[in-house]
Amino acid sequence: MSGIKVTLSQLPLAPSSRLVTHNLTPDPLTPSPSAFLELQRKTPSLQRRARLLDSASHFSHVAPLPLPFPFCIDFPEDVDDKSEFIEGWLSHREATEKVDTPAAAKRGDDIKLNKYTSEARIQERELLGIARTCLEDCFPNLDVGDAFEVIGTPALLQTSEDVDHSKAKDNTARQELLDILSGHTVLASFSEKGSNEDGNRGYAPWSLRYSGHQFGSFAGQLGDGRAISLCQFVPCFYHHFALTSAVVETPHPTTPSTTYEIQLKGAGRTPFSRSADGLAVLRSSIREYLASEAMHALNIPTTRSLSLTYLPTLPVHRESMERAAIVTRVAQSFVRVGCFEALNAPRQMFMFGGGQQARNLEALRVLGEFVIKEVLQLSRAEGQPWGRELVMECAKRNTMMVAGWQAYGL
């Protein structure tokens, strides 16, 4: 028996009961992955401009699209309807073209993940780093191909080491990893029938709605303005039995019931971006990439860093012109306190943000029960109150995290 590696698109999806997009309430404009695909083809600007979501919504489907903002669109002189031209310009760049690959393997609940991109997504991209500890802890069987040989040995100081690219012999898995984690290729399951008549509930990336405070004041709806979650995977081991040629999948021995969510930070605008570009610059991305794994090494609760991708031809306007990068973050869940605040926000408060919806206690109940059962995995009898238990558990976890910051002077 021997362990085998699988590419990112072949990792097993979490069971439907654990999936955010199968258990929480979507934005009415993207009620399903198939409806989201239709929106990408006809009116993609709805997902690339800021707006308030319906009060019952927990998330909105949105795919990575790292572009400069404001969008640089050259209008032909004979254009009569600029709005229609913009929709076509964006649609041409959305990931709606299915990539020809071998037959997609079935994932949890018969979902078949495929790869989608666009011929207009021609953008230079470079893999600067892969965190080996995150890879081993969260995705032990993920095939990264020759990535480590190409990147070279990480070092705190500049060295004279020359990377021997002759060692690089299998770039197929590395290229898929780079394409997906740079936002060039999107993993999704779209039902072309439009109503998922085949029983497949579908799957597509998403961004969470949340509210919260900034600079000491309640700012209303904030949301994932530059963060897009790609998938929720199960960290399994794969084994190959030579005598029978069978491949079996076994749970991770130390975290058998854990799932991990992969999220891109800096992958483009979402409905929560407000006036921002949805991008991240290289310097801040390097800082987060290193700090996350450093805090994990110090045993401080944190999100993890899987990779750092550089987009050298994508300009980003900050105090000066900089270049873009994307950090791939990993966590068991990216649901946050602000997701609850969005559903029961303070009333009669001044807000300097983009506005705030009315409270929705039914949406609050749906979110709370999902978090208690599937995220925190706390035991609770059906129909029993959960509010106090949820608050106390979150308070305990946050206290331990902040204590870790203070102990190390962070």
For the CA atoms of 328, 333, 338, 339, what is the dihedral angle to 10 degrees? 120
pLDDT of residue 37: 96
pLDDT of residue 246: 45
Contact yes or no for 34/193 (Cβ under 8 A): yes
Helix (H, G, I), strand (E, B) or coil at 334: coil
Phi and psi at residue 234, to the nearest 5°: -100, 125
Bridge partner residues of 208 (DSSP): 59
pLDDT of residue 216: 82
C-alpha to C-alpha distance for 26 and 208, rounded to whole angstroms:
10
User: How many residues does this entry show for the chain?
Assistant: 410
Cβ neighbors of 119 (< 8 A, separation 6 or more) are 97
C-alpha to C-alpha distance for 21 and 207, rounded to whole angstroms:
10
180: left (phi over 0), alpha (psi -120 to 50) or beta: alpha
Looking at residue 51, the DSSP 8-state letter turns out to be: -
Helix (H, G, I), strand (E, B) or coil at 260: strand
pLDDT of residue 300: 95
Strand (E) or helix (H) holding 212: strand 211-214
What is the maximum alpha-carbon separation in the chain? 70
What is the pLDDT tens value at each position of the chain, 410 positions in all?
446 888 999 998 999 999 999 999 999 999 999 999 999 999 999 999 999 999 999 999 999 999 999 999 999 988 889 999 999 999 999 999 999 765 444 455 568 899 999 999 888 999 999 999 999 999 999 999 999 999 987 766 666 555 555 555 568 999 999 999 999 999 999 875 544 444 458 999 999 999 998 888 889 999 999 999 999 998 865 544 444 444 445 555 566 678 999 999 999 999 999 999 999 999 999 999 999 999 999 999 999 999 999 999 999 999 999 999 999 999 999 999 999 999 999 875 666 667 999 999 999 999 999 999 999 999 887 778 899 999 999 999 999 999 999 999 86
pLDDT of residue 194: 46
Going by DSSP bridges, is the β-strand pair 211-214/260-265 parallel, antiparallel, or unpaired? Answer: unpaired
Classify burial at 216, counting beta carbons within 10 Å of its beta carbon; exposed 0-12, middle 13-18, buried 19 or more: exposed
pLDDT of residue 118: 96
